[in-house]
Amino acid sequence: MATMVEFAKMNGLGNKILVIDMRGRPDRITPDAARTLAADPKTSFDQIMAIHDPKLEGTDAYIDILNCDGSKAQACGNGTRCVVQALSAETGRKVFTFQTVAGILNAVEHNDATISVDMGRPVFDWNKIPLAEEFHDTSRIELQIGPIDAPALHSPSAMSMGNPHAVFWVDKDVMSYDLERFGPLLENHPIFPERANITLAQINSKHQMTTRTWERGAGLTLACGSAACAAAVSAARTGRTGRKVEVTVASSPNRGMLTIEWRENDDRVVMTGPAEWEWSGHVDPVTGEWQADTAEGAIAL
């Protein structure tokens, strides 16, 4: 058995996150360990946020992200907020810079305990999202589910927030759609060579919208931060809302809310919302064997 490392079971608006401290180690969490942890009801998660020693000068850590099926993820906004809360509790600091496979993320914890994450610039080019065929305008691509003359979902906006997203616009309550059935079909549709996150979005006003997401590699989750960003940007891009919106995540406990701003001055997307610690423990990053800490209290990473 490998030496166990500390981890915290956390959530961002119900998005189930394991923050695992891999600092001081050269290895990575194995896909087998991720799948073992995901299969256990007590450690079931949507994403693992593994904190590694920084690779670049000027950054505080390298964050490796895994989905519950053991696959890699490029971005996880709700998970990044959990990392900030964990490291802030450990160090007392409020401002952090992380490196991920998708690029550099800057984040800050505010006095009200909410956390803002700069998610970077959205990508709209069809070949960079990526899509399998060329679309001149990715704000509306040809894709539908259901009868050709009366599709249940159609014409999504496609983009990347470090990972591929398709946002379907709906008029009814997002919870009334059978996303558990549609999600796997759309995630794995041939138009998405790297699969995609699938989001249903309902516009309530120029300043407020509601979303529900099927996550690539994780399935139907209670919340997805990068999907909320993708939906907010796509809504502004298509003239449905302004560039700053409140996004109600329908599946999350108490229909939690994120504030998303697509800044006009630098084209960057900033997401603000909460994170919550649940409990801490130790885990074997090779096998996924774990044990809970007996002492309760602050996060100890």
- Residue 297, pLDDT above cutoff 80: no
* Helix (H), strand (E) at residue 259: strand 257-262
The pTM score is 0.90
> Residue type for 230, please?
A
Distance CA 295, CA 281 (A): 10
Q: Which helix (H) or strand (E) is 105 found in, with range?
A: strand 103-109
pLDDT at 169 over 50: yes
- Among the CATH numbers 3.40.30.10, 3.10.310.10, 3.30.1380.10, 3.10.180.10, which is that of 5-109+276-292? 3.10.310.10
Digit-coded pLDDT (tens) for 190-248: 999 999 999 999 999 999 999 999 999 999 988 899 999 999 999 999 999 999 999 99
pLDDT of residue 115: 97
Question: Among 52-56, 100-104, 154-158, which stretch is predicted with the lowest mean pLDDT?
Answer: 100-104
Cα 5 from Cα 236, distance rounded (Å)? 42
96-136 pLDDT, tens digit each: 999 999 889 999 999 999 999 999 999 999 999 999 999 99
Q: Do domains 5-109+276-292 and 144-267 have the same CATH topology?
A: yes
Question: Is residue 21 within 8 Å of 91, Cβ to Cβ?
Answer: no
Q: Where are the domains of the chain?
A: 5-109+276-292, 144-267
- Percent of the residues in the chain that have a pLDDT greater than 90, as a whole number: 87
- Cα 197 to chain centroid distance, Å, stands at 9
Beta bridge mates, 214: 198, 220
The reported pLDDT for the residue numbered 254 is 74
Look at residue 296 and tell me whether its pLDDT is greater than 70.
Answer: no
What is the chain's mean pLDDT, rounded? Answer: 94
Q: How confident is the model at residue 74 (pLDDT cuts 50, 70, 90)?
A: confident
Q: Is 238 exposed, middle or buried (0-12, 13-18, 19+ CB in 10 A)?
A: middle
Return the active site residues.
Answer: 76, 224
Q: Which fold has domain 144-267?
A: Diaminopimelate Epimerase; Chain A, domain 1 (3.10.310)
* Residue 301 confidence (pLDDT): 54
Rounded-to-integer distance, Cα 188 and Cα 169, Å: 19
Least confident of 83-87, 183-187, 248-252, 283-287: 248-252
